[in-house]
């Protein structure tokens, strides 16, 4: 597994997202992933499976394995309800400490604000205070654009350490990626397969299929290699044992600069699922 340094922490360039996984399915998938070399696992409070994931990971951590537990704080809960004049909003401390009592003194390795909202900069400032007080390794934000990152910096004087945004061949998010690299911000690619909605189209893209034949790989493997060679962490979601094994088998070959650029020409700024914002 190839890694990338973020604030002195070596993070793997491939992680597993566990959206909608529960019970035996989650436990089985996590166990198989760990056996295949995965070390970064991504969840969120909104997924309602954080405790299940931790239960699966803590035994592996007890064996001395370095495994990263990443979760997301829902912006809507921090923002509160307009109907009730924001009286029901939750503090960052409530979301970050009290919520994780099941971790018995531990805290997630990476906290991300799940989305932006009106006044998100002030809440992120509280996350910075929390990070310093509790020695949280990394914090960041999801589904953000360049203007919002600049706004965050203007309020807090800090750039996020990590951002997670939609990235795949039809949505390269190149402006944001370039900005983040310039500012030393680590980028994670969510939905690298566009929730599966674009896979059929990609199987008809000559650039991708020709490269798959050249390297004796699948089209999804070519896409993941294109992402990770940009030093972007790819967060994949799969419960298929074959795909889990194939996805981590992307580090044994290297695309040329020309091949990387060829894949980048497929960009259409086309978002799937959560609509991306204008990254000016």
Tell me the pLDDT tens digit for each residue of 188-214.
999 999 888 888 999 999 999 999 999
Average model confidence (pLDDT) for the chain?
90
Domain hosting 11: range is 3-196+232-239
Is 70 exceeded by the pLDDT of residue 280? no
| pLDDT attached to residue 188 | 98
Is 60 exceeded by the pLDDT of residue 12? yes
Q: How many domains does one find in the chain?
A: 1
Per-residue pLDDT tens over the stretch 153-168: 999 999 999 999 999 9
Taking each helix axis from N to C terminus, what angle separates 120-134 and 146-156, rounded to the nearest 10 degrees? 60
Confirm whether 173 is domain-assigned.
yes
Confirm whether 201 is domain-assigned.
no
Residues 6+ apart with CB under 8 A from 71: 42, 43, 44, 45, 50, 108, 110, 111, 112
**Is the pTM of the predicted complex or chain greater than 0.85?**
yes
| pLDDT attached to residue 80 | 63
The larger pLDDT score, comparing residue 72 to residue 79, is at 72
State the pLDDT confidence band at 276, using cuts at 50, 70 and 90.
very low
| pLDDT attached to residue 100 | 84
| pLDDT attached to residue 63 | 79
Strands 233-236 and 110-113: unpaired
Confirm whether 53 is domain-assigned.
yes
Confirm whether 222 is domain-assigned.
no
- Residue 178: give its domain's CATH number: 3.20.20.100
Is 90 exceeded by the pLDDT of residue 85? no
Confirm whether 280 is domain-assigned.
no
The larger pLDDT score, comparing residue 220 to residue 134, is at 220
Confirm whether 60 is domain-assigned.
yes
Under 8 Å between Cβ of 69 and 41: yes
């Amino acid at each position: 597994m190839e890694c990338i340094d973020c604030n002195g922490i070596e993070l793997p360039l491939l992680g597993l997202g566990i959206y909608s996984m529960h019970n035996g399915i989650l436990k089985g998938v996590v166990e198989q992933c760990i056996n295949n070399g995965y070390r970064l696992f991504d969840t969120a409070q909104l997924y309602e499976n954080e405790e299940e994931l931790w239960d699966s990971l803590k035994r592996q951590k007890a064996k001395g394995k370095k495994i990263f537990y990443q979760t997301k704080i829902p912006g809507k809960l921090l923002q509160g309800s307009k109907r009730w004049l924001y009286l029901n909003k939750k503090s960052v401390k409530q979301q970050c400490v009290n919520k994780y009592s099941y971790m018995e003194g531990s805290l997630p390795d990476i906290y991300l604000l799940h989305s932006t909202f009106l006044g998100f900069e002030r809440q992120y400032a509280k996350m910075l205070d929390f990070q310093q007080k509790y020695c949280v390794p990394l914090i960041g934000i999801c589904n953000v654009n360049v203007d919002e990152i600049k706004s965050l910096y203007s309020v807090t004087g800090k750039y996020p350490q990590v951002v997670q945004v939609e990235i795949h061949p039809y949505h390269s998010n190149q402006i944001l990626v370039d900005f983040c690299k310039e500012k030393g911000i680590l980028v994670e690619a969510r939905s690298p397969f566009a929730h599966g909605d674009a896979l059929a189209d990609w199987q008809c893209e000559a650039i991708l299929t020709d490269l798959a034949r050249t390297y004796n790989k699948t089209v999804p493997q070519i896409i993941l290699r294109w992402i990770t060679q940009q030093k972007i962490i790819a967060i994949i979601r799969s419960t298929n044992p074959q795909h889990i094994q194939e996805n981590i088998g992307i580090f044994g070959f290297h695309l040329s600069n020309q091949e990387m650029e060829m894949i980048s020409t497929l960009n259409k700024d086309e978002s799937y699922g959560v609509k991306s914002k204008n990254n000016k």
